[in-house]
Structure 1
Amino acid sequence: MHLKGPERKGFRALILCPTRELAKQTQRECVRLSEGRGLRIHIISKIKKALTQYGSTSSQKFDILITTPNRLCYLLKQDPPAVSLKNIEWLVIDEADKLFETGSRGFREQLDEILKACDGNDRKIAMFSATYTPVVAKWCVHNMKGLVRVTVGQRNAATDLVDQELLFVGNEQGKLLAFRDIVRQGLSPPVLIFVQSKERAQQLFNELIYDGINVDAIHADRTQLQRDNTVKAFREGRIWVLICTELMARGVDFKGVNLVINYDFPPSAISYVHRVGRAGRAGRKGKAITFLLLMIQST
């Protein structure tokens, strides 16, 4: 609404997402929401093509850029920079608490680079996330003028539309037995299963593929084409059960997920909220089952 329509100024809005799957979903929604306004929305897909696509003249063809931080930083580090963000009016950071994480799995350093590149006087920042961490809160207070917070529902908590169950399974073998018991009782697809690593995802897939279940796995070791095809098949109902890592816990919206299973216990409360939030969306009810091992330490 603020951009109103296209102007030949280059990118005027930038939307950052932690994963390519979420970036593509955001692009689809932007196209729908901007229908009739003529805004030109672009997503960075092929990095080699992008190196020559956003020069001093070609970048004037676009209004909104949607991307992941790593790809954008690669373009900014070229000499001269392969993309200009000087006319950015809106910087939208989706899954803000994830992008503010530090370390090998975080994006904090990349985010700092992007913020410096968006140096226009009219820049506004908007952050979205299902969870609100102290790190993000502190940064917002110190760096955003006229800060406004909007909270929907209870902060850092799962929606009450999700029926949450904690299931004691005893040991690792008990997890597999518990899932097969759920299948015997009657599985209502689509179902998401979360595990802690790509190795665990592949191991579980190898177990379930022989049970006659339409199952697949998505993780960072699969190619982008494989990941895209898997997501498409899950959306179309050709895959009933999708095994995934934290990759899919952030923002990706699958319509009508009936059941989320935390096969491996979430590493944090924040992770738990995002995982179970794949169910209970858009007013629909859902269920989340978390497997818990009974750990006994001898003295």
Structure 2
Amino acid sequence: MYDFDMLGLAPQLNTAIKEAGLTEPTPIQNKAIPLALEGHDVLGLAQTGTGKTLAFGLPLIQHLLDQPGKPREKTVKALILAPTRELVNQIADSLRNLTAKTKLRVVTVVGGQSIGKQIKLLSRGTDILVATPGRLIDLMDRRALDLSTARHLVLDEADQMLDMGFIHDLRKIAPKLGTPRQTMLFSATMPKQMEELSQAYLSNPKRVQVAPPGKAADKITQSVHFVPGPEKPSKLREILSNDAGALTLVFARTKHGAEKLMKGLVADGFNAASIHGNKTQGQRDRALKAFRQGTVNILVATDVAARGIDIPGVAYVINYDLPEVADNYVHRIGRTARAGREGQAIAFCAHEEAGLLRDIEKLMKITIPVASGTPPTDFTARPKRGQKQGQRRRSGPPRNRSSKPAGNGQAPQGTKRRRPRRRKAA
């Protein structure tokens, strides 16, 4: 272990770090920063909330400070790609705090905002560009920027970019960047496709991993309530009332469900807002700002916000609906217990969600403590072959799905045999 003063960073960076109240690096920072400062490509694996932004941000800024000169018009020196608008803004805010006493310029480009304004911003030249892949492709098509001068590429939350289909955009973007370049890839999980991605875009990378995939932060206390779907609203209100005023993030599965849940809470006197894909960028930014400042203490969100909220004061994460993908549970609960704090992750599980909970526990290699309710009697039973977890088997005889005649030449029972068509005379 070392402290930030031992890294040999520029005085402006050391000042920014101290003003942020940081003294010792987190484990991922401890391992990744020295390697990145040496110029190595880095493959970093760590759960959310462990300080990955500084792990790539500090060495990136240091490299740029060592390269004097302003960027030319439309050019970019370093590119950071992230899957969501919220995460782009979060990364940019952190980098701007670090570069406040330097001449480095950080620019963001995301969908949902005026592309004309973004083209104007890029025309001045950019030191660090933080972008979502889709909007970046739009700007490339309009020839609004030149990536050939970019010698640094960072892929943050790369596993989510894969899940969202951005691999195709990455194949268009990467060849436009300059070479040689340093590439850093950071992710919370390491699916097989991630290994292929690292082989394609990283050169002899140094791999750093501080926790096994699927592991939550140690200071998160987890629990599950087995509650029927119709009783979820009353259970949620009961929990929210027990600690009124605490910053609470509530995850719903769908955009419509999140909005309906938020409006119901507001109607009952709770101070709530929502964030999901049907909201404009301005609405999402205002909701996040209100939540960060505490003027709204309950934020109802879909998975669009699972990796884009870095608010140390979040005390509770409530999984009102369990996610369809087990990995997303880890990302959701990673919104609490950040920056060394403690937090609680509370899950609701209806009978039809039992299979989803089983998948989460299998991924995390734990059994989540039961806070209330009774698990379904078949919760520990393995699903039968051909049957998905959490799916009930139909009663009655199986349906014959075949449309072909039976082996004896007779049509299956309950079906009609077609008469052969008569051929017309020529």
TM-score computed with the length of structure 1 as normaliser: 0.90
Letter in 2 for 1:116: P
Superposition deviation, residue 261 in structure 1: 0.4
Match of 2:172 in 1: 113
Distance 1:190 1:100 in 2: 30
**Structure 1 runs of 4+ with >4 Å offset:** none
Verify the 8 A CA contact 1:162 1:288 in the aligned structure 2: yes
Verify the 8 A CA contact 2:183 2:201 in the aligned structure 1: no
Structure 1: gaps spanning 5 or more residues = none
The yes-or-no answer on 1:147 pairing with 2:205 is: yes
Query: Which among 112, 123, 128 is matched to residue 64 of structure 1?
Result: 128
Higher mean C-alpha displacement, 281-290 vs 177-186: 177-186
* Partner SS, residue 291 of structure 1: strand
**Corresponding pairs, count:** 288
Superposition deviation, residue 188 in structure 1: 5.2
Verify the 8 A CA contact 1:51 1:82 in the aligned structure 2: yes
User: Which deviations, in whole Å up to 9, do the C-alpha atoms of 1:195-216 show, x marking residues without a partner?
Assistant: 1111001111122112211011
Equivalent residues in 2 for 1:42-121 (5 A)? 42-44=107-109, 46-55=114-123, 58-59=124-125, 62-78=126-142, 81-101=143-163, 105-118=164-177, 120-121=178-179
Match of 2:257 in 1: 200
Verify the 8 A CA contact 1:192 1:261 in the aligned structure 2: yes
Taking only aligned residues, the RMSD between alpha carbons, in angstroms, comes to 1.8
Match of 2:70 in 1: 8
Cα gap change, 1:6/1:160 in structure 2, threshold over 3 Å: closer, same or farther?
A: same
Superposition deviation, residue 286 in structure 1: 0.4
Cα gap change, 1:75/1:175 in structure 2, threshold over 3 Å: closer, same or farther?
A: same
Match of 2:215 in 1: 157
Distance 1:288 1:249 in 2: 13
User: Which deviations, in whole Å up to 9, do the C-alpha atoms of 1:231-278 show, x marking residues without a partner?
Assistant: 111111111110000111014201211000001111122101100000
Match of 1:229 in 2: 286
Distance 1:6 1:253 in 2: 32
Verify the 8 A CA contact 2:184 2:202 in the aligned structure 1: no
Cα gap change, 1:6/1:20 in structure 2, threshold over 3 Å: closer, same or farther?
A: farther
Superposition deviation, residue 116 in structure 1: 1.7
User: Which deviations, in whole Å up to 9, do the C-alpha atoms of 1:155-177 show, x marking residues without a partner?
Assistant: 2211121111111002x211112
Match of 1:264 in 2: 321
Query: Which among 175, 178, 181 is matched to residue 238 of structure 2?
Result: 181
Cα gap change, 1:213/1:85 in structure 2, threshold over 3 Å: closer, same or farther?
A: same
Query: Which among 162, 185, 189 is matched to residue 127 of structure 1?
Result: 185
Query: Which among 202, 208, 224 is matched to residue 166 of structure 1?
Result: 224
Verify the 8 A CA contact 1:7 1:63 in the aligned structure 2: no
* Partner SS, residue 235 of structure 1: helix
Letter in 1 for 2:152: W
Distance 1:54 1:230 in 2: 27
Structure 2: gaps spanning 5 or more residues = 1-61, 353-375, 377-391, 396-426
Percent identical among aligned pairs is 36
Match of 2:94 in 1: 29
* Partner SS, residue 63 of structure 1: strand
Superposition deviation, residue 53 in structure 1: 4.7
User: Which deviations, in whole Å up to 9, do the C-alpha atoms of 1:101-146 show, x marking residues without a partner?
Assistant: 3xxx43121111111211x222121112222222112221344211
Query: Which among 95, 106, 126 is matched to residue 41 of structure 1?
Result: 106
* Partner SS, residue 26 of structure 1: helix
Query: Which among 301, 312, 322 is matched to residue 244 of structure 1?
Result: 301
Verify the 8 A CA contact 1:100 1:111 in the aligned structure 2: no
TM-score computed with the length of structure 2 as normaliser: 0.64
* Partner SS, residue 345 of structure 2: strand
User: Which deviations, in whole Å up to 9, do the C-alpha atoms of 1:63-118 show, x marking residues without a partner?
Assistant: 1111111111001112xx221100111111111111123xxx43121111111211
Distance 2:237 2:151 in 1: 52
Match of 2:271 in 1: 214
* Partner SS, residue 168 of structure 2: helix
The yes-or-no answer on 1:275 pairing with 2:348 is: no
Distance 1:154 1:188 in 2: 34
Distance 1:50 1:223 in 2: 17
Structure number with larger C-alpha Rg? 2
User: Which deviations, in whole Å up to 9, do the C-alpha atoms of 1:20-41 show, x marking residues without a partner?
Assistant: 2221221111112223332121
Letter in 1 for 2:168: E
Verify the 8 A CA contact 1:188 1:258 in the aligned structure 2: no
